[in-house]
Amino acid sequence: MGLTLQRAKRVHVRTLPPEEQHFKESIHSEQFNDIRIKPYPVKRKIDLVLGAAGFLVYMLLFPFIALGIKLSSRGPVLFKQPRTGRNGAVFQCYKFRTMHVVQKQSKNGQPVVTQKGDNRIFGFGQFLRKMNLDELPQIINVMKGDMSLVGPRPYPVEECAYWNNTFDDHYYRYILTPGITGYAQARGLRGGTLDVELMRRRLDNDLIYIEKNSLKLDLMIIYRTVAQMVTRKTNGH
């Protein structure tokens, strides 16, 4: 069964930040009882058109990135990880491998997240992360329909379960298809963390996107994401 906002356990009121006045409007969850939130009509078509262009870039860069990874660390070029998608469905998310192959272990019931300065990340992997090129294989997920270009970032299954137990409304993130980038990431809220306050801010931004998703908003997010990549003010998750 799909998710609807009728399943809310509590009501949160969220407003867009001052710099987003063209989207400014209070958001009340109870407004959406019995309403299934859907992506705007042409979203999938845009994913396929821009995704095809992105896939071409992926194919052109793959040999060079693969060589860099192989020369830096033993193991596969691509890293596959189960992540939570739309309506809670689990899919295999693709990335270029940026870390040495080691077994992650949970600590005190908390998931192990990759944070800045993680000693598992090898040199060339650090470069890929800095340029956000490690996310490029997710174009495959977009073409398959597991992901969209824009949407709430998909979390690893273990992290998803952890945050679902932390926030009553965390599962709302999965009403829409997850994205390579999202509203939270465009506003600088990205990277691995177990900070509850920071994750609350990310979740609030994700819920704003879900209730406001539109072509105009997606184009703004894509523009800001590209600008961050050019200025190197980003760190993917």
**Cα→Cα distances 75→97, 98, 177, 182, Å:** 8, 10, 30, 30
The secondary element (H helix, E strand) that includes residue 51 is helix 43-72
CB 3 within 8 A of CB 175: yes
Q: First vs last Cα of the chain: how many Å apart?
A: 28
User: In this predicted structure, what is the pLDDT of residue 79?
Assistant: 94
Sort 145 into a burial class: Cβ within 10 Å, 0-12 / 13-18 / 19+. Answer: middle
| pTM for the structure as a whole | 0.78
SS3 assignment, position 83: strand
Domain boundaries, the chain: 43-102+111-231
Residue 223 confidence (pLDDT)? 94
- pLDDT: which is higher, 24 or 158: 158
Q: Find the Cα–Cα–Cα–Cα dihedral 223, 225, 231, 232, rounded to 10°.
A: -170
- Its sign, for the CA torsion 181, 182, 186, 192, is negative
Tens-digit pLDDT profile for residues 162-203: 999 999 999 899 999 999 999 999 998 877 778 899 999 999
Tell me whether strands 148-150 and 179-181 are parallel, antiparallel or unpaired. parallel
pLDDT tens, position by position, 34-88: 445 788 889 999 999 999 999 999 999 999 999 999 999 999 999 999 999 999 9
Q: Are 179 and 209 in contact (CB under 8 A)?
A: no
Q: What are phi and psi of 192, to 5 degrees?
A: -70, 140
Q: How far is CA 96 from the centre of its chain?
A: 15
Tell me what percent of the residues of the chain surpass a pLDDT of 90: 61
Angle made by CA atoms 15, 225, 159, in degrees to the nearest 5? 70
- Judge contact between 157 and 88, C-beta under 8 A: no
